[in-house]
């Protein structure tokens, strides 16, 4: 949410579907959001809700077939990326948007040293010669706080710990000096302490180099202190979109509200307070009405019949719930 600030990326009504033998998977279905220069947006939601497909759409890397961007605009620095040819798009990917992929093997090749991979990316994107590119690669490894960067430069991905590998991937994504870093679950596979360190690193990089960040995670607990805005997705759609504090303390959507209540505190070794019963619907056959209604403790009749529009529950706070103003007063409620 850019609130009139200098918009870097604006996604409008994006629909990305997969045409499979089983039917059309509406992975991303009418998603809109914006990121200002230097802003960090967290995209949060359970597995399969369309987070990665949203990011891949921005990068124009949706596997096609079966995937297709059916509708929408992706405007980066005033230009619609969906109207660019392959060469122009490669330039945007190479020089403006860096991405850390969810699958680490997409980013790091096991048969080359970490250093040579980063160096090569730098040579390609920034046009530096081999020596300069190596110096820059070592600097980047230092920037992401890899100790003994000079020595580690010569190591292979399997010689790195999980956390170090993640740092190397961040260095790789930064090699093109991007304005926007898309980080898809950058810390999910890591233990809690390392997770926190990676988040700190991303927060620090934002400050130091004025990077805008799109941080994808299924865990709302890790985004505090890193992102200022949260986009909550459910079944391919945006269900809540607001400043992080408002989503944390005044959620206006039962799904986001439940996610909040299921966040374990990093400083407490407590069990999750609440788990969301049931599982997300198939994106091929969505239930009528609100996609969350079968699992929603507050659902009323209308929720099973009519799809709720995304509306402003309060200024700058979007929610797609029929009872966005006061859902807690409806349905069975939750006792916990
Ligand atoms: N190549 C593909 N072919 C068919 N369906 C796909 C393909 N890639 C993704 N999907 C479907 O699109 C939907 C959204 O997937 P996506 O990977 O964006 O989820 P996600 O929110 O990133 O989940 P996770 O937290 O598990 O990474 C899922 O239903 C998934 O099965
Ligand atoms: Mg994903």
CA 74–ligand 1 middle distance (angstroms): 19
Question: Is 288 touching ligand 1 by the criterion CB < 6 Å?
Answer: no
Task: Return the pLDDT at 328.
Answer: 81
Report DSSP state, residue 130. H
Question: Is 25 touching ligand 1 by the criterion CB < 6 Å?
Answer: yes
Q: Whose structure tokens read 């939750």?
A: 334
Best residue among 25, 61, 68, 259 to mutate for probing ligand 1's pocket (most ligand atoms within 8 Å of CB) is 25
Sorting pLDDT into bands at 50, 70 and 90, what band is 293? very high
Question: Is 281 touching ligand 1 by the criterion CB < 6 Å?
Answer: no
- 241-284 pLDDT, tens digit per residue, is 999 999 999 999 999 998 887 766 555 555 545 567 888 899 99
Residue 51, SS3 per DSSP: helix
Contact 308, 239 (CB under 8 A): no
Ligand at shortest distance from the CA of 53: 1
Task: Return the pLDDT at 69.
Answer: 97
Closest Cα to atom 5, ligand 1: which residue?
18
Closest Cα to atom 26, ligand 1: which residue?
47
- 299-321 pLDDT, tens digit per residue, is 999 999 999 999 999 999 999 99
Q: Please report, rounded to a whole number, the percentage of residues in the chain having pLDDT higher than 70.
A: 93
Q: Which residues contact 172 (CB under 8 A, 6 or more apart)?
A: 98, 100, 107, 108, 117, 118, 121
Choose among 190, 151, 150: nearest CA to 167. Answer: 190
- 60-79 pLDDT, tens digit per residue, is 999 999 999 999 999 999 99
Q: How do 237-243 and 317-319 pair as beta strands?
A: antiparallel
What does the mean pLDDT of the chain come to?
90
Residues shown for the chain: 336
Which residues are within 5 Å of ligand 2 (an ion), measured at CB? 51-52, 102
- 27-61 pLDDT, tens digit per residue, is 999 999 999 999 999 999 999 999 999 999 999 99
CA 204–ligand 2 middle distance (angstroms): 24
Choose among 241, 244, 179, 173: nearest CA to 7. Answer: 179
Q: Is the pLDDT of residue 203 over 70?
A: yes
Residue boundaries of the structural domains of the chain: 1-75+179-336, 104-177
Q: Is the pLDDT of residue 150 over 90?
A: yes
Fold of 1-75+179-336: Rossmann fold (3.40.50)
């Amino acid at each position: 949410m850019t609130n009139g600030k200098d918009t870097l990326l604006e996604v409008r009504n994006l629909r990305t579907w997969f045409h499979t033998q089983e039917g059309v998977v509406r992975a991303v279905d009418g998603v809109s959001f914006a990121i200002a220069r230097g802003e960090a947006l967290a995209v949060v939601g359970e597995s399969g809700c369309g987070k990665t497909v949203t990011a891949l759409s921005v990068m124009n890397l949706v596997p096609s077939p079966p995937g297709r961007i059916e509708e929408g605009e992706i405007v980066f620095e005033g230009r619609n990326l969906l109207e660019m040819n392959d060469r122009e798009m490669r330039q945007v990917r190479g020089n403006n948007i860096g991405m850390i992929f969810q699958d680490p093997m997409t980013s790091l090749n096991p048969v080359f040293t970490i250093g040579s991979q980063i160096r090569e990316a730098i040579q390609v994107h920034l046009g530096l010669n081999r020596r300069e590119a190596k110096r820059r690669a070592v600097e980047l490894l230092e920037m992401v706080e890899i100790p003994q960067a000079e020595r580690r430069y010569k190591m292979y991905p399997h010689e790195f710990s999980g956390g170090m590998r993640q740092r190397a991937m961040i260095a790789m994504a930064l090699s093109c000096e991007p304005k926007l870093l898309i980080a898809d679950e950058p810390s999910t596979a890591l233990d809690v302490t390392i997770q926190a360190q990676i988040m700190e690193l991303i927060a620090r990089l934002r400050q130091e180099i004025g990077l805008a960040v799109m941080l994808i995670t299924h865990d709302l607990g890790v985004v505090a202190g890193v992102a200022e805005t949260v986009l909550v997705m459910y079944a391919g759609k945006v269900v809540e979109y607001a400043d992080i504090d408002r989503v944390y303390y005044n959620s206006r959507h039962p799904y986001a509200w439940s996610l909040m209540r299921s966040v374990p505190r990093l400083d407490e070794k407590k069990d999750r307070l609440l788990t969301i019963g049931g599982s997300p619907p198939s994106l091929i056959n969505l239930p009528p009405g609100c996609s969350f209604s079968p699992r929603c403790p507050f659902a009323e009749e209308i929720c099973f019949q009519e799809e709720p529009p995304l509306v402003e529950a309060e200024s700058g706070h979007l929610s797609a719930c029929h009872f966005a103003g006061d859902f807690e007063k409806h349905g069975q409620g939750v006792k916990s």
